[in-house]
Chain A
Amino acid sequence: MAIFNLTVNGKKTKVDVEPDMPLLWVVRDFVGLKGTKFGCGMAQCGACTVHVNGEATRSCQIPVSSLAKNAKITTIEGIGETQLHAVQQAWIEEQVPQCGYCQSGQIMSAVALLKANPNPTDADIDTYMSGNLCRCGTYDRIRKGIHRAAESMKTGNAGTGK
């Protein structure tokens, strides 16, 4: 076991875990944030997507020891703490989730997409979001949700996670 100092959703936290434990299990079972989900364990489904220094990252593939010391980790719990993020708000407006299990990962990917590309086309969305599986089949609404979030972020009325 080893001690790792992490910054998760802006809060400094200390965990005592095996160095090869993936960030996913550290976040879920040691930091206690259950919003990030396990789906496949091999970066195929995207359910475990979090942000590491703002980049969408499959946390099931990141051993905790591989994180840089000052790495900033953001999970689904950290993007809309004071006000729902525009993407979360758009997901409610479009009634995107069915079972909702994959949606933490979908939303974290969508937030990262909109940060990099505030005006994504359908083709941009298709490319960026193809790593996040949804077995319930909410893809059409995810596309609509991203366009809606992009619009509301332009008007500046919605939360951006800042």
Chain B
Amino acid sequence: MEHINTSRRSFIKAGSLTGVGLMIGLNSFAKEKHPKKISHTDPKSAVLDLEINPFIIISTDGSIALINPRPDMGQGSTQAAPSLIAEELEVSLDKVKLIQSGGQEKYGSQQSGGSSTVRGLWNSLRKAGAAAKEMLIETAAKRWNASVVDCYAKDGKIYLKNSDKSFTYGELVDDASKLQVPKNPKLKDPKDFKILGKYNKRLDVPDRVTGKAVYGIDIEVPGMVYACIQHSPTIHGKVVSINDSEALKVKGVLQVIKTKRPMPHRAADAVAVIATNWWAAQKGRKALKVTWDNGDLAKTMTTDNYFAATYEAAKKEGIRYEEKGDFNAKFANAKQKLEVNYETPFLAHAPIEPECAVVHVKDDGTAEVWAHVQGPDGGLADVSRALGISKDKIKFNVPLLGGSFGRKAYHDYLNETCLLAKELKKPVKMIWTREDDITQGPYRPGMLSHMQGFVDKGKITGFHHHAIGESIVGQVFGGLAPDESDPWLSGEISTENSKYEFPVSKISWTNVKTEIPIVWWRSVYASNFGWGQECFIDELAQLAGKDPLQARLDLVKDARYRKVLETVAEKANWKEKLGAGQGKGIAVFASFGSISACCITVSKDGAGVKIDKVVSVLDCGYYVNPDHVKAQTEGNIVMGITAAIKGGITFTNGVCDQTNFHQYNVMRLNEAPKMEIHIIDSGENPGGVGEPGLPPIAPALGNAIFAATGKRIRKLPFDITNLG
């Protein structure tokens, strides 16, 4: 195996900014030698709050607070992160207070992204809990003049064996927090887990069903004004002139400000309407007359042009990412071969809560921010840059995220709120309209998979995946050299990741650029390239005369992958005799450290098909809560099917053709299929949960449709009610 791509540089550079695709362990707790007295409760209280390490605060009155270093966007970090600490600290989650971190360096990476919460914090947060427990035990042992082995922790107390003696953590914390933090505390054997891996209700669900949960859009600060921002219809157009006379007549409108929308790679012109309430601000915005200079964008920024360029690129040799054998020579001489292209569209994330933020630049040179970002560490850095105020003078509060799927890790909306706050010197609450969210991006990039393959004597023997499109690493971070293949392919379609052992294979890449802003979207490139990879395996299996499941098993030796495939086949009754017009499709894809397979059954229904059932299997290693793993997988099924059969994002003449949910359709309840989810308890290191269930969904559907109808679909999205 020859690995062409040696540049880890840009990957690490990009990864360190986003956390996407990287697993960063937190060891910072071990740096803390001296406890800090911090006051998270009433400052006048006599109770001493002691930070036994950055993630655990125990008060002398016995109350305990745990820090959640990963914002919650629905993926369950408000349960997962504190569970890791509580398991080792021997406390019950319903007895602790939870505090969301606000970007401070001592908490390490705080990016909810790359399905990294549990797999990234699995060791560090458990160690934080275990270290604190050892310090409390040592303190108690000293007071009893006993050995530490005779002391144990249970439910917030340290007990002395064979006695009725005990201390609450609050009674011990003052002395315990003066001890050195043990660097390598002993972690529990998984067989002794009381919380991890067990069904537990999420404790914040009651607030989420009573309207009490506080999301970014719910923040209110005394004296604040509201902003609604007119962005360029072509995203990058320049403001030529502003006529705000009608806008200023709208009752409640205070002023109109020419401003910027700073994206990570470039800033766009924008015009903000400031008002006493948001309804007035958006009314004022509608009354604005802005003239834009759109340059050549009407000609250059269209999805038709972009995809035409990707199909052209498919005719040429790409940059090799990896190669085994001489693929081109073998392909040229192969007797049974196939060459096809698979297309996936641009997609908006469209979280139901639109992008918004509240920023207050104060007279004393400090600032306070309330923003539903995926990563407050990156958010704090961006705010500091935008305001020109050092990080230590900024208080960053993270309310809940009303959905995100990658979107709220891109801080254009926060940056533009900062610019307004800097100018206005009073708290500003900025809210995007749904139209902003759909028409302005950033989007999941549309991609083309150019596939070549051949078979010999009933086996798939040659496979080439040529990934073509705009690079997130390249556009967002400027981190891709022209002669470099996108390093993020490693965790996606590399054979190291797919575990397909083809006799001859090649993975290659061509960067087709676009000015349409792009970014990661749930499961990143895997959501694009899983479609080409897994449908094409089926096409080659058919050419070889092989059952699609058997063709995959023939290619994979890895035991975990085989188990996932065999399990989905068993649970979905792969070999059952199907009715007329029925078909089953299978697909498997590994991403973010987990392996997921899906089997979908469809039936002919008029000119299209209906989905009878979706069976999904996930091996994510150790996990926190099986019910929430299932919930995330249910979400991936819905989002994966939506991405396959609902409208994509298209640009004509430099303008997005979709504006709101009437044109950018997402799956509704009446369209949600029956689903069944199975978790494999592999006992392996934790993998991701929030994303890995998505990539196999679309190809399993495409393969099922082929099985039922003989029609091979290669372009997403398609109309499931009319396959043409």
Residue-wise, chain B 62-99 has the 8 Å CB interface mask toward A (1 for contact) of 00000000001111100000000000000000000000
For B, the interface residue count at a CB cutoff of 8 angstroms equals 63
Chain A interface residue count, Cβ-Cβ cutoff 8 angstroms:
58
With A41-B433, A101-B402 known to touch, is A92 a contact of B668 (CB < 8 Å)? no
Q: Does A103 contact B (CB under 8 A)?
A: yes
B339 to chain A, nearest CB (A): 35
Known contacts A25-B279, A44-B662, A129-B670: does B400 contact A99 (CB below 8 Å)?
yes
Q: Determine if A133 and B661 form an interchain contact, defined as CB atoms under 8 angstroms apart.
A: yes
A143 proximal to B (CB < 8 A): yes
Residue among A36, A37, A96 making CB contact with B353, cutoff 8 Å: A37
* CB pair A18 B351 closer than 8 Å: no
A26-63 interface (Cβ within 8 A of B) = 29-30, 33-42, 44-45, 47
Tell me the bound Cα distance from A39 to B666 in angstroms.
13
Tell me whether A68 is interfacial, beta carbon within 8 Å.
Answer: no
User: Using Cβ atoms and an 8 Å threshold, which residues of chain A touch B353?
Assistant: 37, 39, 99, 101
Q: How many A-B residue pairs have CB under 8 A?
A: 178
Partner of A100, one of B209, B638, B666, B667: B209
Which of A67-94 touch B at CB < 8 Å? Answer: 75-77, 80, 84, 88, 91-92
- From B199-207, B449-457, B558-566, give the one contacting chain A: B199-207
CB pair B670–A140 under 8 Å, yes or no, is no
**A126 engages B669 (CB within 8 Å):** yes
A43 CA to B669 CA, complexed, in Å: 16
Q: Which of B210, B277, B631, B661 contacts A80 (CB 8 A)?
A: B210
Nearest A residue to B433 by beta-carbon distance? A41
* Nearest B-chain residue to A126, judged by Cβ: B670
B605-633: CB near A (< 8 Å → 1, else 0) gives 00000000000000000000001100110
Tell yes or no: A141 within 8 A of B by CB: yes
Contacts of A34 on B, CB cut-off 8 Å? 211, 214, 217-218, 220
A137 touching B277, Cβ below 8 Å: no
Q: Is the CB of B403 within 8 A of A99?
A: yes
Contact partner, B669, options A25, A76, A88, A139, Cβ 8 Å? A139
Instruction: Give the residue of A21, A22, A92, A101 whose beta carbon is less than 8 angstroms from that of B403.
Output: A101
Closest Cβ–Cβ distance, residue A27 to chain B (whole Å): 11
Task: Give every chain A residue within 8 A of B433 (Cβ-Cβ).
Answer: 41
Task: Give the distance to chain B from A1, nearest Cβ to Cβ, in Å.
Answer: 7
Q: How far is the CB of A158 from chain B (nearest CB, A)?
A: 13
Q: Contacts A42-B662, A136-B635, A137-B638 given: A100-B400 contact, CB under 8 Å?
A: yes
Q: List 15 A-B contacts (CB under 8 A).
A: A18-B251, A18-B280, A25-B279, A29-B277, A34-B214, A38-B217, A39-B352, A42-B661, A99-B403, A100-B209, A129-B670, A134-B352, A137-B634, A140-B674, A141-B634
6 A-B pairs with least C-beta separation: A35-B211, A137-B638, A101-B402, A99-B74, A100-B208, A98-B74
Q: Which residues of B line the A interface, CB within 8 A?
A: 72-76, 201-202, 205-215, 217-218, 220, 251-252, 277-280, 350-354, 400-405, 431, 433-434, 627-628, 631-632, 634-639, 660-662, 666-672, 674-675
